[in-house]
Amino acid sequence: MKIEMGESLFYSWLRHVKECQVVQTNWKTSPKWTLMHEDDLHNLHVTTDKHFRAKYNYNIFKQNSSLSQIIQQAECDAIGIALQDSVNVIYTVDVAFHEAGLNYGTRDVTVMKVIAKLVRTAMCLRGYLGTKNADIIFASPKINSAVYGDLEPCIKDLNDIFLKHGFGFRARIIANEEFNDTVLQPILLVSDGVADTSELFLRSYQMFNMFTNKAVPNMTKQTSIARPVQGNDSSSIEYTNESIYKELKIGRLAQVVFRKILEEGQVTEGEVYYMQQAEYSKQFFDLQYPVLVKANSNYDPVRYYVNPIIIRGEKYMLCSQWFETDANNDRPYLVKWIETHIKTNNSFNKRLESNEKIEEVNDKRLIRVDAYCSHCGNKITTAGMKFCTNCGSLLRSS
């Protein structure tokens, strides 16, 4: 079966960035499947058809007025299902790569075809999987501004229609700079260690890295011209860019971005000390276990990742108990910590260069009254505080 490079890219993206345990490319319906919720599908069909005819003069279904015909034409380039506790998170992707920009004919025809694909996919998900919730994605590395400008209000209208009918579907366009930031860069960032020969895109990238020290292309947000990223592995990817790491699930965020910040020395020795304390870890990361433990200490290996982190020459183990559910969501804590340290890293390094001293007593970092945070500048006037209540960094005396 033929696999397009775009499909292979999203196969890897769904598996390793969205952490879908079940992924299939070229997903098509079967005439043998039982169609469910036909009333829902009929109402959605009628509403979308009338809305886009009246508002934009778009005939998105053309002459195919039959609901069965519309659904039988549906197919997805990739579908992924992430199993999270008792909740299934579903992603569908249609991807098109037209070097001169997305083009299915005229400008109107191009927009109509994209909307039709999104609606058909929603109908299939409701009719055959019985779900009302999914991310329904149309992706293209290049969509010209005129077409993209026409698509934007249509996507908003479509999501409003989904909501009106009680669906949790989210139609989404990923294109241009966003394609690079949210798809290409994140999958390259997490590509280390993937050795599945079926993942053609990643294997091609890995082969490229084997034989070249040249720059890897990386699109800027200012132009469509590629700019170089130095290096030949995932360590060269711009992981500090929020638009890149926001797509990662919290486990990947911890293992890739958080790990890199720690290993690159963007934290003080005091912070490393406090990350080994349960109180600090609970307050600033909402974890039930210390963020770090020394590799040679007595710890529960079930609660920590297998591969150690090396910080200033010493080995530590990173806690693996990160959750991202309604009942237990550690993501806001970790993201806040990462953002604070990324934004203030330059000023922090300047302070280190000026030999600012931190008081040490019995190898533990303590703080007096009237302190301020060397990372975010937050003023602390409460006696006994050891770390910043804003960003979690070690405090130093004023």
Burial 245-262 (b: 16+ CB within 10 A, else e): bebbbbebbbbbbbbbbb
**In 3D, which of 9, 376, 354 has the Cα closest to residue 174?**
9
Please determine, for residue 361, whether its predicted confidence score (pLDDT) is greater than 60: no
79-119 confidence digits (pLDDT tens)? 999 987 777 899 999 999 999 999 999 999 999 999 999 99
Cα 167 to Cα 81, 132, 151, 183, distances in angstroms:
18, 5, 21, 25
pLDDT above 80 for 132? yes
- DSSP result, 103-169: -SSSHHHHHHHHHHHHHHHHHHIIIII--SEEEEEEEES---HHHHHHHHHHHHHHHHHHHHTT-EE
Confidence of residue 380 (pLDDT cuts 50, 70, 90): low
pLDDT of residue 47: 96
Q: What is the pLDDT of residues 43-61, one digit of tens each?
A: 999 999 999 999 999 999 8
Burial class (CB in 10 A: 0-12, 13-18, 19+), 61: buried
Half-sphere exposure of 358 (CA within 13 A, CB side): 21
Give 248-275 pLDDT, tens digit per residue: 889 888 988 899 889 988 888 889 999 9
What is d(CA 192, CA 206) in angstroms, rounded to the nearest whole number? 9
Q: What are phi and psi of 379, to 5 degrees?
A: -85, 135
pLDDT at position 51, please?
97
In order, the DSSP letters of 78-93 are EEEEEEETTEEEEEEE
Contacts of residue 171, Cβ cutoff 8 Å, sequence gap at least 6 = 118, 122, 136, 138, 155, 158, 159, 162
Q: Say which residues have a Cβ less than 8 Å from residue 14's Cβ, sequence separation at least 6.
A: 20, 23, 78, 80, 91, 93
| 81-85, 175-179, 250-254, 362-366: which is most confident | 175-179
Q: What's the rounded mean pLDDT across residues 236-258?
A: 77
Of the pLDDT bands very low, low, confident and very high (cuts 50, 70, 90), residue 327 is confident
Residue length of the chain = 398
pLDDT at position 339 is 86
The 10s digit of each residue's pLDDT in 141-166 is: 999 999 999 999 999 999 999 999 99
As a whole number, the mean pLDDT across the chain is 82
| Share of residues in the chain with pLDDT > 70 (%) | 75
pLDDT of residue 398: 43
**297 or 223, which is more confident:** 297
Residue range 183-230, pLDDT digits in tens: 988 888 887 767 776 787 877 877 777 776 554 444 334 333 233 333
Count H helices and E strands in the chain, helices first. Answer: 14, 15
Q: 137 and 172 in contact (C-beta within 8 Å)?
A: yes
Q: How confident is the model at residue 140 (pLDDT cuts 50, 70, 90)?
A: very high
